Each structure stands twice: as C-alpha cells, then as structure tokens.
Amino acid sequence: MIILGFDTSTRATAVGLRLADGSALEVRDDPPVGEHPGHATRLLGMTAELLAQAGVSWTALERVAVGRGPGRFTGLRVGVATARGLAQSLALELVGVSTLEALAQAAIAGGRADRVLAVIDALRGEVFATGFAGGGNGPVCELAIAQPLGPEALGELLRGGACPAAERGRWLAVGDGAVRYRAQLERAAVVPGDSSPLHRVDARAICELGARAAATERCHELVPDYRRRPDAESARRLPQAPDPVTEPEGARP
C-alpha cells in the first residue's frame, strides 16, 4: 500500500511517503526560531515535491495518514483539513495518527529506548505528554495524560512513580516540549541533545502507524485532538475577552 503521511501539529511541516515495498521517504520544513510555520503555504507543495522525487503520481496513492495532535491549533486545522480534502478528492482511505505516538514510534523503532515519554510544547507554560513502551505492533500507551500540564507537575508525576512500570528505568523524553523544559524533566528522564532528530515528528512514523490503523469510515469523523478548548471558544466563556494588544506574545498556539 502506498501511503502519504504528514504532520503539522508543531512548528515543523513534515511529509512522508511509504511505498509498496515498505520503504519510506520524508521531506520537511523546520522554520528557524522567530519565523512563522509554513503549514498552509508549504504543505501541498512539499507533498508534490516528494511524490515527484519518488516517481509516484497522485492517483497512485491509496491512503493518507495525518498527525491529529495534540499540538498547535492552527497547524492541526491545516493538516486535518488538507488530509480530509485529499481523501475526498482522490478517493483515498483516511487515517488519523497520534502525534505523540509518532514521536515515540521513531525512538522505539530506532532502538533508542524501550520507554519513551513524548512531550510537545503546548505553550502557556504547559506541555502535552504521553508515555509509551515498545510493543510488537508499535508503541503501547503506558502513561496516559489526558490534559496539558506544567513541566514541574509532569516531572513530579514521573518521580512519584505514577507509571506501574516505573521500576524498569528512566524515561527517554523526546519532543520540542522536552527540549524547552529540559531542566524540569531531566530529574526523572533522559533528554537527548537539543539537535537530536528524536525531538522532531517524523512523517515516516506517521506513515508507519497509519499503515497499521483502521481507516476512518467518514472523512468528517476525523477531527484534531486539541486536548483543550481553542482560544476563541474560551474567550466566549469569559466576561470580557483579553485585550489583544496587551496579551503576552506566544500566548496562543
């Protein structure tokens, strides 16, 4: 099966292609600090570039897999909407993949660790995180964290032995959240160097997980995993919305 996979839940735009023989390719855009992500402007162009590189036509695709988060609201909306549009226009099977699981998949498949804590920067001084262990059919959730939480709270959770298998050793913490909050997490986990590729969401892992998952029956059923209310919805619940001029920079994903 030929699978197109991509993820736009972090600042990066990553596109992968899994060929019928199981081999996979990836192209990515990792914007420098200070530059805006190019999800909306680059995703389809990067996809066309990758297909041309592999000599695969759009009509040869059989399935599209997309990282559905958690992550940045705008990036998630772009990624999921693009995947749904491609699935409908090209009559492709559609699969949603956990971005946190894809982070763990790359580390576990590469033999770097048996227990991986995937951590994505949620902004607002919080992270999205889930702990995974290696399994025969891919990562197995070992520590589920349903809501974003502060890095100190995550570190305390790990040091407190919240995971039933904590005695098996320290976690390998990966993702942009692990990089940003290294100081808080290194008391309970091993964090690779900032430039390690393990901190980047690998679109080939999206393809691999997408190959194992069941396809969505209806495209509209695939929705982003925000794990909290978007800012616009939260603002409607407040007596008065915050002044956009004085709102701290970076307060919104």
In a domain, 151, yes or no: yes
Please check whether residues 32 and 115 belong to one and the same domain.
no
Please check whether residues 37 and 150 belong to one and the same domain.
no
CA separation for the pair 145, 162 (Å, rounded): 11
In a domain, 41, yes or no: yes
Q: Given this model, what pLDDT does residue 137 score? A: 74
Please check whether residues 93 and 14 belong to one and the same domain.
yes
- The per-residue pLDDT of the chain, averaged, comes to 88
Please check whether residues 90 and 209 belong to one and the same domain.
yes
Please check whether residues 76 and 37 belong to one and the same domain.
yes
In a domain, 133, yes or no: yes
Inform me whether the pLDDT recorded for 144 exceeds 80. yes
Q: Please give the tally of structural domains in the chain.
A: 2
Inform me whether the pLDDT recorded for 247 exceeds 60. no
Mean pLDDT of the 184-197 span: 93
CA separation for the pair 15, 5 (Å, rounded): 6
pTM equals 0.86
Inform me whether the pLDDT recorded for 113 exceeds 90. no
Please check whether residues 206 and 92 belong to one and the same domain.
yes
CA separation for the pair 102, 85 (Å, rounded): 22
Q: Given this model, what pLDDT does residue 177 score? A: 97
Helices (H), 55-150: 73-90, 99-109
Task: Grade residue 159 by pLDDT with cuts at 50, 70 and 90.
Answer: confident
Task: Grade residue 114 by pLDDT with cuts at 50, 70 and 90.
Answer: confident
Task: Grade residue 169 by pLDDT with cuts at 50, 70 and 90.
Answer: low
Please check whether residues 11 and 72 belong to one and the same domain.
yes
Q: In the numeric block, which tokens belong to residue 14?
A: 């990553």
In a domain, 146, yes or no: yes
In a domain, 71, yes or no: yes
Strand 126-133 to strand 140-143: parallel, antiparallel, or no bridges (unpaired)? Answer: antiparallel
Domain limits for position 185: 100-199
Please check whether residues 113 and 181 belong to one and the same domain.
yes
Please check whether residues 92 and 105 belong to one and the same domain.
no
Mean pLDDT of the 83-101 span: 97
CA separation for the pair 163, 244 (Å, rounded): 40
Domain with 35 in it: what CATH number?
3.30.420.40
Please check whether residues 173 and 145 belong to one and the same domain.
yes
In a domain, 57, yes or no: yes
In a domain, 247, yes or no: no
Mean pLDDT of the 57-61 span: 98
DSSP letter, residue 4? E
Strand 115-123 to strand 171-174: parallel, antiparallel, or no bridges (unpaired)? Answer: parallel
Mean pLDDT of the 157-165 span: 66
CA separation for the pair 179, 192 (Å, rounded): 8
Task: Grade residue 163 by pLDDT with cuts at 50, 70 and 90.
Answer: low
CA separation for the pair 105, 159 (Å, rounded): 23
Please check whether residues 141 and 186 belong to one and the same domain.
yes
Q: Given this model, what pLDDT does residue 235 score? A: 43
pLDDT tens column, 192-212:
999 999 999 999 999 999 999
Q: How many CB atoms lie within 10 A of CB 145?
A: 20
Please check whether residues 63 and 130 belong to one and the same domain.
no
In a domain, 137, yes or no: yes
Q: In the numeric block, which tokens belong to residue 234?
A: 């939260």
